[in-house]
Amino acid sequence: MSEPAKTPASNFVRQIIERDLADGKHSVIKTRFPPEPNGYLHIGHAKSICLNFGIAEDYQGGCNLRFDDTNPEKEDQHYVESIQRDVSWLGFHWDGAVRYSSDYFDQLHGYAVELIEKGLAYVDFLNAEQMREYRGTLTQPGRNSPHRDTTVARNMALFQQMRDGQFKEGECCLRAKIDMASPIICMRDPVIYRIKFAEHHQTGDKWCIYPMYDFTHCISDALEGITHSLCTLEFQDNRALYDWVLDNISIPCHPRQYEFSRLNLEYTVMSKRKLNTLVQEGFVSGWEDPRMPTIAGLRRRGYTPSAIREFCRRIGVTKQDNVVEMAALESCIRDELNETAPRAMAVLDPVKVVIDNYPTGVLEQIESPRHPNKPELGSRTLPFGRELWIEREDFREEANKHFKRLVLGGEVRLRNGYVIKAERVDKDADGTISCIYCSYEPESLGRDLPDGRKVRGVIHWVETTTAVAAHFNLYDRLFSVANPGAEDDFRTVINPQSLVVQQGFAEPSLASAVASEPYQFERQGYFCRDCSNEQALVFNRTVALRDTWAKLADKA
């Protein structure tokens, strides 16, 4: 890890591991993280990553990175590379080489043959619709397939024909022979091999039959010597199948599966199918769009590995399904960046200020701290002159006492600079203010006003001749409702304000900002330079300074 981790909170998984170690059941802990390479990892995967890799690290064990690559039609090497990049970026290291379920295709095929030889698997010719009909319901048992009692010899021949590509896709499959009356639906003779004429990103065209996840996963765990197979609660019923497969093949290792609650986060979706829809239908710019809950999207938005790990630590590991507020994730990055991010000034919606009584042609250099509480971060120089940019929302011709910024006839302090007073304005033909004329108090730099009078507030600014033009991407929550997955069509509740692009100006020191380096823009939020565009100066807002959604919810 790149930095000392906080002491992990105890949870039921750690209690199981500590008991197993104390009882001598295991001397070395071995876990695994087994993503499917059919999309980018998201924040939900980060919880599993932190759990599996964190446990291996804390108990001096090892964690394998194994790609569950049993569905070649939806998988891609690009996803393999993105997943490795994300795991490494989060600060974790897998044990040994990257592994693939496809590494074990020969062994998996051998174990399927073993089940056939034992009379525990058969080739079935029911189509998908018929199979659903025969499977039964939660209240009614299933019915045996008419092919269930085919002889071992015949099944061996048929499975070889499947292997040789003599059947069409969907024409038949290999099913485990378990119990069609089982109260657990996945134990009703589940499919363990199906035909797919698709080239695999690791094995090429060697295979035209591919094992199903439930058959593959437990055997892969056993072949790798996994001690604790940790997965989310939706696989709880599948544990019975996990154990059945390992109990009925000649494999010496029998890992145990334990389930924990998945991460559900407000105002987003965690289904890779739905995330892929957002990408494919152009609702976002790609998997790395900063509005996406993907690790790559969060990284581009300015989230740090430590903030994501801290978020996973705070939410903990339980068996209770719950929905985590988006504010909990945002709080983690705010807490970190408030301490670490240097300050800078940028004006996102500029209006010009002219200081009438400031000397023409003079450019003053004002030293300003990079962080108010961290002198060790040093300072930067702010050019100050007769003409400035300020935020349009920071000026009103008239305002009540609650408006703490610049008002016609009122005074404010410029951050790290002078006190100015608004005297008059110019307006365009449509009534839009185009310029604010001010006077300044020459003795107010770094000190109170001479006669002790108070100003309304403090606003940020940049000097016009040295300011650098920049684009600012103001990202917000992708959906306008807390649970978009509950909608008939989640696409109908996409937040139209999830991305607002503004063109403004930044202080000159930001011209050399490094991609992904965080800044707190005074009164605007936390930003980082976008890593996808090296030519233009583009800043992405990571998070606002405050949780404005909580305030909106209180008013609702």
- Catalytic positions: 36, 262, 272
Contacts of residue 381, Cβ cutoff 8 Å, sequence gap at least 6? 365, 366, 367, 368, 509
CB contact set of 4 (below 8 Å; sequence gap of 6+): none
Q: Using CA atoms, how far apart are residues 220 and 68, in angstroms rounded to an integer? A: 9
Q: What six digits make up the tokens of 202?
A: 């690791």
Residue 454 CA, distance from chain mean position: 46
DSSP per-residue string spanning 439-485: EEEGGGTTS--TT-PPPS-EE--EETTT-EEEEEEEE--SBSSS-GG
Helix (H, G, I), strand (E, B) or coil at 418: coil
Task: Report d(CA 32, CA 253) in Å as an integer.
Answer: 15
Contacts of 315 (CB under 8 A, 6+ apart): 47, 263, 324, 328
Instruction: Find the distance separating the first CA and the last CA of the chain, reported in whole Å.
Output: 43
Residue of 443, 461, 453, 309 lying closest to 387 (CA atoms): 461
What is the CA angle 376-378-379, rounded to 5? 155
Q: Is 204 exposed, middle or buried (0-12, 13-18, 19+ CB in 10 A)?
A: exposed
